[in-house]
Chain A
Amino acid sequence: KAGVTQTPRYLIKTRGQQVTLSCSPISGHRSVSWYQQTPGQGLQFLFEYFSETQRNKGNFPGRFSGRQFSNSRSEMNVSTLELGDSALYLCASSLLKREGPHNEQFFGPGTRLTVL
């Protein structure tokens, strides 16, 4: 079974631009979560989508948004990029009932975003 895939793997943008990252979950997984990893803040939860609906949201500004499509693929968008948005963005998928805790989460290779 193919793992979680993320595109692109690397991205360089300038301040003020916007960016869209893509994540394809493991086949059959309907939950997709996004995380930001920076040297200063570590790994932080951004949001989670399940069946095209946002199930959960972390403490990030509204410039960070996401969506999920009917095939469970997810995209996240960051508008008006700031230098501090430079990070590794990771997505994870899991089997999940609509309510309740997750089963094991599996991660993609990440997208490394650099904002200049």
Chain B
Amino acid sequence: GIQVEQSPPDLILQEGANSTLRCNFSDSVNNLQWFHQNPWGQLINLFYIPSGTKQNGRLSATTVATERYSLLYISSSQTTDSGVYFCAVEDSNYQLIWGTGTKLIIKP
């Protein structure tokens, strides 16, 4: 089955810093989503991005489907950005396959 790898696994930054999170996947996918999981477990949708580039405020994402990777950019980090960021891809069986996440800690 498809393998989804996220890097880095952990990231500690000062407030105001920028960061780039990466998601690599091993096969072609139907679509790709980025989520932020807050400390209470809620998964918050960030981007639905099977290909191309999207921006939403301080966050943006780019998926290059032909090269099987996606990047999530966070600019001017705030403490509320802390949490775990997941990439999930939909395989040919229409199942979401999840990466292991990037744990982000933003220090004030």
Contact = CB atoms under 8 A, between A and B. Distances in A.
Interface string A30-54: 0001010100001111001000000
B33 A42 contact: no
Contact of B43 (A45, A48, A107): A107
Contacts of A58: 95
Nearest to A104: B48
Interface in B74-108: 86, 88, 90, 93-98, 100-101
Given A102-B31, A103-B48, A109 B94 contact: no
Given A43-B86, A43-B98, A56-B93, A109 B48 contact: no
A86 to B, nearest CB: 14
Interface residues of A, number: 25
B14 interface: no
A19 B24 CA distance: 36
A56 B42 contact: no
B41 interface: yes
Contact of B94 (A43, A102, A110, A112): A102
A90 B97 CA distance: 14
Interface string A65-106: 000000000000000000000001010100000001111111
Q: Which of A43, A58, A104 has the most chain B CB atoms inside 10 A of its CB?
A: A43
Interface of A: 33, 35, 37, 42-45, 48, 55-56, 58, 88, 90, 92, 100-107, 109-110, 112
25 contacts: A37-B41, A42-B98, A42-B100, A43-B88, A44-B98, A45-B96, A48-B94, A56-B94, A58-B95, A88-B41, A100-B94, A101-B30, A101-B94, A102-B31, A102-B90, A102-B96, A104-B33, A104-B48, A107-B35, A107-B42, A107-B45, A109-B40, A110-B41, A110-B42, A112-B41
Interface of B: 30-31, 33, 35, 40-43, 45, 48, 86, 88, 90, 93-98, 100-101
Question: Nearest 8 A-B pairs (CB), nearest first?
Answer: A101-B30, A104-B48, A107-B43, A43-B98, A110-B41, A45-B95, A109-B42, A88-B41
